[in-house]
Structure 1
Amino acid sequence: GLRSQLHQSIWLTLGLGVMGVLSILLAATLLMDAGFDPDMASRANDYLLAIAWGAIPMTMLPALRGSLEAMSLTRAVLWINFSIFLINIPLDYFLIYGLYGFPQLGAEGCAWATALLLWLGLLANLAMLNWHRSIRHLSVFKHFQWPQWQRIRDTFLLGLPIGFSVLIEMSMFSGAGMLIAYFGPIAASAHSVAISIASASFMIYLGLGQGMTIRTSQQLGAGESEGALYSIKVGITLSMCLALLVTVCFLVWRHQLAGLYTQDTIVIDLAVKLLLFGAIFQLVDCLQAVSICALRAYHDTASPAKFQAVAYWFIGLPVGVLLGFYFDIPGLNDASAFWFAMLLSLTISSGLITRRLWHISALSTVVKP
């Protein structure tokens, strides 16, 4: 049940947190012996030792937050995160500059502030799970269970492809950014402006997708496979309508949006050109994000990672390199080559993932568990 899954997730993330602490301590030790400037190495070492205190809550928080979200307590998660954000601003300031009795720690102060707030977030999520009025009767921490290794293994194997999927996507966008830098500082600056604008809306799509995961999982847990399919259809329709609105806004106000980041007219002109691709991939990026989240409700996390690996690594980046450096196609012989390649790979990945979602959701309505 829910209680058992939460307990095993806590054990899993606690273990990962301990591994994180050991990794950071090892990195700090290696840094001191790497031959860097002693003062710089000492400062970096102090920063790592401070941030190591936050490794355990950092790994445990997603499990607790996900449990709250699974029980539709998304507003509680929002208020916890927003409160921590508000505390983080003055706490960073006090610890960096040593104000109001706090020690003056410089950059190390940021690490201590982060570690402290991670623990605060952990305690807040634990308190919410234990005492929130809508789930208090569940007593989720009553009779806390010892590790069940098979269940921990299953959870780890379910979550591992999600991390791999994030790594694949980050590697494509960061790889494209590094390759675009070969076209010069103007291209790199324009890419930075355009990608900042184009990715700002992704968090909205991700939030809608997580909502789809929750609603679809609840329907499947209740044995309502047709209700799950209906939730998917409603979620995708709502998300695509929002993405279409964002696309129109990008197309209409792309000059003004680029102007918020720089006053260099040459950079703005190229960024505006790149935003034409960015506007279109709002649609496919949104569809991909919500489809991936919906598939998680069916415990299918491996398929999206496979599709993204093929689309990003074996199609997107190679096409960008060929168009950018080997073919002289008008309009696609600068940073635009990689934006076209990113759009192409997102479209292919989105199509494959959405097709998989329709297949598995339709199949579940025929073959009910």
Structure 2
Amino acid sequence: MYPTKTLKEKIRLFMIILIPILITQVSMYAMNFFDTIMSGKAGAADLAGVAIGSSLWVPVQMGVVGILMAMSPIVAQLTGANAHEKIPFTVQQGMYLSIALGIIVTIIGAFLIDPILSMMELEERVRHVAKYYIITIGLGMIPFFVYNLLRSYIDGLGHTRTSMVIILISLPLNILFNYIFIFGKLGLPAFGGIGAGIASALTFIINLILSILIVHHIRPFREHRIFKTFLKPSLKEWFDQLRIGIPIGFSIFFEVSIFAAVTLMLSVYNTNTIAAHQAAINFASFLYMIPLSIAMALTIAVGFEVGAKRIHDAKVYSYLGITSGIIIAFIAGSILYLFDDQVARLYSENPEVIALTKQFLFYAIFFQFADAFGAPIQGTLRGYKDVNITFWMSLVSYWLIGLPSGWLLANYTNLDAFGYWLGLIIGLSAGAITLFGRMQYLQRKLIRKYS
């Protein structure tokens, strides 16, 4: 990161930060995609087991990763304030915290996995695959959390290209591991869907090893001497990081888990409707990688400028990010509108599923517009370390506005299953508008304070 003077310089720096983040996020999304596709080749029960396991694992995973994302604005603000001497202690404590969170999640999961799966009416093979997929992927949980902590530190310094390189190395390895463990190659037994969990755990470990080697040996990270001398754990620093991280983590958890809730509510509809919903959600999730990446880039850029008390520059970055999101939303919306049939056919050859998917994709156009406006605002507020309002608005917009209004529209209008999507659009839009007001209030307040 470095100070910029003109809008042209800001656009250039923002793109330097954004593009590697986008490539990283798409690559991480591709890992889950290949887990699902390759497990499906092993059999329907394996595909179902991995789908169930992922639906339980991903919300928890993303929630904890959200907590650890607090490191990005913390490091960005320390860098902007030229307080580099505080970074090693902060990162080390974040590593301790990520290990502690991993242990807590592991213990809770050990007690809950069987009761939760027993509540579901699953075939024995599906339950077996789901259980051991979660167990095997859980073996890489602590390395995964520590890696994401180090990634947030690396990104917070503005070196997002480094994170991109790590994930581009590990993605093909993940596909190779899937091939070996799912289908039983190199003399190993065919684990089916469980093999996807083994492959992911190994990939998480490799990501951590690569991150440690880079941080320890490559400039500018080695100048912080993160792994040179380890200090004692500091509960005070843990709580300071959790004060920022917990609202971020729960915001992401509410966002991810709402889709699982909608899928559960859609279980009363026929198989073709559920399949079409899943196809449209899958593609919408892919498109969401763009505003999510913009949000992560804004957290870094805004945090850096706020740390240096350049509040006007932070404001320029925030509107640059929001404008970028809206422009990309227009492009993505046009693609969805013009090529809805081609997109739908990527997921199914069933004419009814294709027709229903195209209808869901029409709602996805407005869905991703709301995301494109709201996600960059969330990223901006995280850069300001103003995270509590994001937490509450995620709770209110998704669970108190979006889901109830979706249920009402689905059950008391002729929209049926599409009512849930319209409800989510309403909730997302309400949250984005409210957060925009919060961002403007905060910017005016800081400009008055430092002008």
Both proteins in one fold, TM over 0.5: yes
Output the amino acid matched with 2:446.
Answer: S
2:409 pairs with one of 295, 318, 323: 323
Please report how far the alpha carbon of residue 38 of structure 1 lies from its aligned counterpart in structure 2 after TM superposition. 9.9
Please report how far the alpha carbon of residue 264 of structure 1 lies from its aligned counterpart in structure 2 after TM superposition. 2.5
Please say if 1:242 is aligned against 2:328: yes
Output the amino acid matched with 2:314.
Answer: A
Correspondences of 1:158-237 after superposition (within 5 Å) = 158-237=244-323
Please say if 1:336 is aligned against 2:421: no
1:357 pairs with one of 403, 427, 439: 439
Matched-pair contact (CA < 8 Å) for 2:280–2:357? yes
Question: If you compute each CA radius of gyration, which structure gives the higher value, 1 or 2?
Answer: 1
Please report how far the alpha carbon of residue 17 of structure 1 lies from its aligned counterpart in structure 2 after TM superposition. 1.9
Distance 1:50 1:333, change over 3 A: closer
Matched-pair contact (CA < 8 Å) for 1:25–1:52? no
Note the alpha carbon deviations across 1:90-127, whole angstroms, 9 max, x for none.
223223444335x3261454433332222211111111
1:10 pairs with one of 51, 72, 95: 95
Higher deviation after alignment, 196-205 or 165-174: 165-174
Aligned to 1:346: 428
3-state SS of the aligned residue for 2:273? helix
* Alpha-carbon distance between aligned partners in 2 of 1:41 and 1:178, rounded to the nearest angstrom: 17
Structure with larger RCO (C-alpha < 8 A, sep 6+): 2
Please report how far the alpha carbon of residue 42 of structure 1 lies from its aligned counterpart in structure 2 after TM superposition. 8.0
Output the amino acid matched with 1:202.
Answer: Y
3-state SS of the aligned residue for 1:104? coil
* Alpha-carbon distance between aligned partners in 1 of 2:259 and 2:132, rounded to the nearest angstrom: 31
Note the alpha carbon deviations across 1:263-284, whole angstroms, 9 max, x for none.
3333322322222221122211
Correspondences of 1:51-62 after superposition (within 5 Å) = 51-62=137-148
Aligned to 1:124: 210
Distance 1:257 1:76, change over 3 A: same
Higher deviation after alignment, 302-311 or 141-150: 141-150
* Alpha-carbon distance between aligned partners in 1 of 2:238 and 2:427, rounded to the nearest angstrom: 34
RMSD: 2.8
| Number of residue equivalences | 363
* Alpha-carbon distance between aligned partners in 1 of 2:365 and 2:88, rounded to the nearest angstrom: 43
Higher deviation after alignment, 17-26 or 167-176: 17-26
Unaligned runs of 5+ in 2: 1-85
Distance 1:74 1:49, change over 3 A: same
Correspondences of 1:281-296 after superposition (within 5 Å) = 281-296=367-382
Please report how far the alpha carbon of residue 245 of structure 1 lies from its aligned counterpart in structure 2 after TM superposition. 1.0
Matched-pair contact (CA < 8 Å) for 2:87–2:224? no
Please report how far the alpha carbon of residue 27 of structure 1 lies from its aligned counterpart in structure 2 after TM superposition. 5.3
- Normalised by the length of structure 1, the TM-score is 0.89
* Alpha-carbon distance between aligned partners in 1 of 2:185 and 2:132, rounded to the nearest angstrom: 20
Aligned to 1:368: 450
- Normalised by the length of structure 2, the TM-score is 0.73
Output the amino acid matched with 2:425.
Answer: L
Higher deviation after alignment, 160-169 or 129-138: 129-138
Please report how far the alpha carbon of residue 37 of structure 1 lies from its aligned counterpart in structure 2 after TM superposition. 10
1:264 pairs with one of 343, 350, 370: 350
Matched-pair contact (CA < 8 Å) for 1:20–1:56? no
